[in-house]
Amino acid sequence: MINLFESFDTKTKVLYKTFKNVGMDNETIVIEEDGFLPSNVLTPYQFFACNSNHSSDPLFFNQVMIPRYWEIEGSNNSAQVKHMGETKGRIIYKKNFSFRIVERIEWLNKNGKTQVIDYYNKNGLKYAQLLVDDNQRRIIKRWFNDKNQEIITENFITNDIILKWRDKEYIFHSKVQFVIFYLKVANISMDSFLINSLSISCAVLHDLKVEGNDYLFWQEKTGDTIPGNMKLMLSKKMRSCHIIAPSEHEFNHLSELVEEEHKNRILKSGYVYDFVGQNQQSHNVLTLTNSDQIPHLEEMVNSLPQYQFHIVALTEMSQKLMKLNSHENVMLFPNAPKDKILSLYQKCDIYLDINKGNEILDAVKSAFDYQLLVLGYIETLHNENYIATENQFSLEKYAELIETLKELDNNEAMRNSRLRHQLAHAGSIDKVTFIEGFK
């Protein structure tokens, strides 16, 4: 079975890691290159670019090449390229990947609108460039190899893709045609695919025109009717397939919606997580932040003297946060190194996702992996996939969060109950159950 994913988004990463955790070492293909994929993940771009032997460091924000007399101004969240006080470009960092590493640069025109976007990968190479119009609609995207030679050109107006490969030029009139060509020339087995999207990857399976047995791992929410492409996959017009639902609610909903003859093709599954810690029921609370905007933190500190609050940042902290040092139950960690952050995950048993601004170091998922109980404000949630509904609180009613923490004080049964709901919310299952779902 081959994993054929359209993109490597958050949900896809969890599914990919699940296969690794259970020892099902499926070959994985991602159609949309993002520059920071795991080394063993295949993409059409990597295959045609032949960059596998190129290895170097990612691009730090102040290493961006700029014209003479221009300058770069950076913060924890992003950076700008400026000349004479005018912003010429915006540097976007790769989320949850080290510190201030460049993912893309958005170059602005004279009207201050994005005109060109340069994309960089984990080896610091500019691997693609996108041209957009004044309405920010995509026009053309070009991909380059490590010699800066253009190898793929995608025209979003005509939907054509031009490939330059082995001294020949190939023209495809859709991305589906391009992906199928890649599967054939890369000698990818077409017996069985697992997809998690009803878009490009689904269309690829439809157009393969060869028999096979496929799986759709459905990570979305179904409305009042079965999506059209899902109906198509269940019909006799496509290869044989099963639909896998990692959510019990979604499994029940799909089972109700599909026709009786297809009910046995709806399977219940979940995710297998590689937990690295146990909840010790301590009173140590952790929050990672890149800003001083943590609503009602001081009220919590004053109302909950029995808890020890650990506030962590990757850089210097503002005076607003530093003033919290006067509280005996607060410990601040500015410029925290990675080993200190890991030790705090091991020490703490509650994580508060209550800071505004960007998430740092995939903090909520890390807290989940260490089996901290994750509580947060609905308005500031950074990753709701791991925060059970009952552990989400309105910012306006922050007093309810404080009251919950009081109730959790020395109440092991209540904390364990919330932890179980947290696991169920994230679709956690054991290895055997996951593997048996494919037999």
CB within 8 Å of 215: residues ≥ 6 apart:
1, 192, 193, 194, 195, 241, 242, 243, 244, 438
Location of structure tokens 């260490």? 370
pLDDT class for 56, splitting at 50, 70, 90?
confident
Question: Dihedral through CA 250, CA 254, CA 256, CA 258, nearest 10?
Answer: 180
Yes or no: domain 61-172 corresponds to CATH 2.20.110 = yes
| pLDDT (tens digit per residue) in 90-118 | 999 998 777 789 999 999 999 899 999 99
Please report, rounded to a whole number, the percentage of residues in the chain having pLDDT higher than 90. Answer: 64
Q: What is the pLDDT of residue 12?
A: 95
pLDDT at 46 over 80: yes
Q: What is the pLDDT of residue 53?
A: 62
pLDDT at 318 over 90: no
Question: Dihedral through CA 129, CA 130, CA 131, CA 137, nearest 10?
Answer: -170
Mean pLDDT, the chain, rounded, equals: 91
pLDDT class for 55, splitting at 50, 70, 90?
low
Q: What is the pLDDT of residue 87?
A: 94
Q: Where are the alpha helices (DSSP H) in 89-198?
A: 175-185
Q: Are strands 150-155 and 138-144 parallel, antiparallel or unpaired?
A: antiparallel
Structure tokens at 75: 């913060």
Q: Answer for the pair 157, 133: CB distance below 8 angstroms, yes or no.
A: no
Q: Answer for the pair 21, 274: CB distance below 8 angstroms, yes or no.
A: yes
Angstrom distance (rounded) from CA 428 to CA 269: 9
Task: Name the nearest CA neighbour of 165 among 33, 45, 48.
Answer: 48
CB within 8 Å of 103: residues ≥ 6 apart:
35, 36, 92, 93, 94, 95, 97, 119, 120
pLDDT at 5 over 80: yes
- For domain 284-425, give the fold: Rossmann fold (3.40.50)
Structure tokens at 103: 């993912």
| pLDDT (tens digit per residue) in 353-410 | 988 888 888 899 999 999 999 999 999 888 888 999 999 998 888 899 999 999 998 8
| pLDDT (tens digit per residue) in 209-238 | 888 899 999 998 888 898 989 988 888 777
Q: Answer for the pair 358, 381: CB distance below 8 angstroms, yes or no.
A: no
Angstrom distance (rounded) from CA 24 to CA 241: 19
Q: What is the mean pLDDT of residues 265-271?
A: 92
List the domain boundaries for the chain. 2-35+186-268, 61-172, 284-425
CB within 8 Å of 47: residues ≥ 6 apart:
182, 185, 186
Angstrom distance (rounded) from CA 388 to CA 403: 17
Q: What is the pLDDT of residue 17?
A: 94
The number of residues in the chain equals 439
